[in-house]
Amino acid sequence: MTRREELLEKYYRGESSLDEERELKQLAPGNELPDAEQDMLDFFGQEAVLPDGLEEELMRAVEKRRTRSFKIRRLTSMGSAAAVILIVLTVFLDVRNKRISKMENDFRMMEQALLQVSESLQPEEQKQMLVLWVDDDVEIVIN
């Protein structure tokens, strides 16, 4: 097996290095390789060259995406914190309102109990009555 065939085998298996690919191109100048193989070597040889400014453009795009991702993460974390604060406040205010409502109910019950006690201790004043006639056995009274 010649060096050129050995390099072609490595190239087809994907095991060749850049130096070996360059050596393969030098060993097979012109029309010594079949057209398909020559076209493939030419194509991949041209593909290795990066256009001017491509790397900077890619880095800008990556940085822009990274910045956007950071902004999204920051907004998400801020939204989560706001939701937690809202839940805590809702629970706190609900507990506070329940406590105030319970105190008001207790106050009303105490007020009613005291009213009943005061009514039992002090009977209602009798309304003014007009006595028309009094006898030993009979009284005539008008309300």
pLDDT above 50 for 54: yes
The amino acid at residue 93 is: L
Q: How far is CA 136 from CA 10, 42, 141, in A?
A: 144, 144, 14
Contact status, residue 28 vs residue 4, Cβ threshold 8 Å: yes
87-140 residue pLDDT tens: 999 999 899 899 999 999 999 999 999 888 877 776 566 567 677 778 887 777
Note if the pTM is more than 0.75: no
- State the distance between the two ends of the chain, measured CA to CA, in whole angstroms: 140
Distance CA(143)–CA(139), nearest Å, equals: 13
Contact status, residue 84 vs residue 77, Cβ threshold 8 Å: no
Take residue 16 and report the two structure tokens written for it.
Answer: 């060749």
- 1: Cβ contacts below 8 Å, ≥ 6 apart: 9
- Coil vs helix vs strand at 99: helix
Take residue 49 and report the two structure tokens written for it.
Answer: 């060259």
Angle of helix 35-47 versus helix 18-27 axis, rounded to 10: 140
- 18: Cβ contacts below 8 Å, ≥ 6 apart: 48
Could you tell me the pLDDT band of residue 31, with boundaries at 50, 70 and 90?
very low
